[in-house]
């Protein structure tokens, strides 16, 4: 094990928000303190969020209320990415149907496009982002416009979002409703596409950032797509089991319990003749099963199991969950 902390290997941290820094209105234990430590280490910090329901300024204000370091320009959102995408495809002054929040409409205005609220205003495109206020009438309006042949951009397609009371439907479920009704699919601006991450790294002048997220299908896939190192944190959507079963494109470089672990040395995984060792735990694949010597409760056991299973299935196009055989020390 190297004595250097995990995050000290990188020049910036690109952090997801929901499920990483906070769940609903409340900070996740240890997250704020872990983020506060970065400036003293000379490590840049950016927030990369698929939540299009609030403006970057509102997100930064919320982070500051929680005690986290956050200037407005440290927040890069999928609504900004969607606006930039539309501006690159359409002429200035084009009318865009907003299926989402006032914050999304504001980003559309900032790039020289005109937000509208109904098909009657002749929009040439639809932009769809999450808002808890969206109802059937909003989805119907989007469906009418998409069905008529308009360009359709989604800020993101997260199927769920962590809330204080549990997991709730995300923008992806609302996008799926319009897709089911129209037979169309939108262009997606935010995670897991790479530009959002490249934009955040560029703002920080970072050449070697670490992407931290709780979701394999957005944060980790997006960070991997961008060519950056990725770390999955277990305070949100994905679990030890889903990470182990991950398809190749969604496998993180590192796995941590919470953001506090960023400031600890990361245990090296070694292998010898098919046996993978992490700390006091070992794992080996035989007959499609992963045999693990170690505690189920210790993350090193899962790190070893992931290394062994992923080496066995290097080109997994879909999630594959192995049978696990636990053997105590």
Determine the pLDDT at residue 169: 95
Q: Locate tokens 């962590």: which residue?
A: 162
Average pLDDT, the chain: 95
More confident residue, 329 or 277: 277
In terms of Cβ atoms closer than 10 Å to its own Cβ (0-12, 13-18, 19+), residue 30 is: middle
Summarize pLDDT for 187-236 with one digit per residue, the tens. 998 999 988 998 899 899 999 999 999 999 999 999 999 999 999 999 99
Residue 162 has pLDDT above 80, yes or no: no
pTM of the model as a whole: 0.85
Q: State the catalytic residue, choosing from 3, 11, 18, 73.
A: 18
| 219 part of the active site | no
Residue 317 has pLDDT above 90, yes or no: yes
Provide φ and ψ at 22, rounded to 5°.
-145, 160
d(CA 32, CA 120): 46
Pick from 70-79, 217-226, 291-300, 320-329: least confident? 320-329
Q: Which two structure tokens, joined as six digits, stand for 195?
A: 């530009």
Q: State the catalytic residue, choosing from 3, 16, 219, 300.
A: 16
| 16 part of the active site | yes
Average of per-residue pLDDT across 54-61: 93
Determine the pLDDT at residue 2: 64
């Amino acid at each position: 094990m190297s004595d250097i902390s995990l995050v000290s290997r990188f020049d910036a941290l690109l952090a997801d928000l929901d499920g990483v820094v906070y769940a609903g209105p409340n900070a996740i234990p240890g997250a704020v303190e872990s983020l506060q430590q970065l400036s003293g280490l000379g490590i840049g910090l950016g927030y990369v969020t698929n939540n299009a329901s609030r403006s970057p300024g509102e997100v930064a204000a919320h982070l500051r209320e929680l005690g986290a370091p956050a200037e407005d320009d440290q927040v890069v959102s999928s609504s900004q990415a969607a606006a930039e995408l539309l501006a690159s495809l359409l002429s200035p002054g084009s009318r865009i149907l907003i299926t989402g929040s006032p914050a999304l409409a504001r980003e559309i205005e900032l790039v020289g496009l005109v937000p509208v609220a109904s098909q009657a205003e002749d929009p040439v495109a639809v932009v769809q982002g999450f808002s808890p206020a969206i109802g059937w009438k909003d989805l119907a309006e989007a469906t009418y416009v998409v069905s008529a042949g308009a360009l359709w951009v989604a800020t993101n397609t997260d199927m769920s979002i962590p809330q204080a009371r549990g997991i709730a439907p995300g923008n992806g479920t609302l996008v799926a409703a319009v897709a089911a009704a129209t037979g169309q699919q939108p262009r997606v601006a935010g995670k897991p596409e790479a530009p959002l991450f490249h934009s955040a790294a560029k703002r920080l002048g970072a050449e070697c950032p670490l992407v931290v997220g709780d979701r394999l299908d957005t944060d980790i896939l997006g960070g991997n797509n961008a060519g950056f190192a990725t770390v999955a944190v277990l305070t949100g959507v994905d679990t030890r089991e889903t990470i182990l079963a991950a398809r190749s494109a969604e496998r993180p470089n590192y796995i941590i319990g919470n953001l506090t672990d960023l400031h600890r040395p990361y245990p090296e995984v070694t292998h010898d003749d098919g046996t993978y060792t992490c700390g006091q735990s070992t794992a080996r694949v035989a007959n499609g099963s992963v045999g693990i010597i170690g505690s189920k409760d210790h993350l090193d056991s899962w790190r070893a199991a992931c290394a062994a299973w992923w080496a066995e299935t290097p080109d997994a196009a879909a999630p594959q969950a192995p049978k696990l055989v636990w053997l105590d020390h």
